[in-house]
Amino acid sequence: MKIILMAADHAGFKLKEKLKDYLAGIGYLARDLGTYSADSCDYPDFAAALARKISQGKYRQGILICKSGIGSSIVANRFPGVRAALVYNVPAGRLSRAHNDSNVLVLGAGFVKAALAKRILKRWLATEFQGGRHRRRINKIKKIEKEIIGRKYKR
């Protein structure tokens, strides 16, 4: 059985639960990193927990859900090796895998209802990275990550 990480804040909780059931039906085991209720919580805690495990190579793929998806994608993309794609439609989900080798799918529960989320997720999981010219671009991202790591971030 394939394992995929999942995490959400309170706004994404209901959609996360629906997608966990959907994943089980298509042969995936969802490792749920929370939240476990619709009680108010902070998305950075859950996005960081998931992204950290992807960055460390402990898991290959993850799904993050919050109200817009924006905050979770910002947090996740701070971690080396994480390519979190905020997706609101099926073609963007496919391209995020085919061209960008995304390893974290981010959904905004306020904009993507369950039926669409299932279609996006199905396509995202089924799409392979194309490599070729896209590999060159991923390698450039990795080079940028290496340049940034070790430098103190200044705003």
- Catalytic residue positions? 66, 99
63 contacts: CB under 8 Å, gap ≥ 6: 4, 5, 6, 7, 16, 19, 30, 104, 105, 106, 107, 121
The three-class DSSP label of residue 88 is: coil
Q: Enumerate the β-bridge partners of residue 28.
A: 2
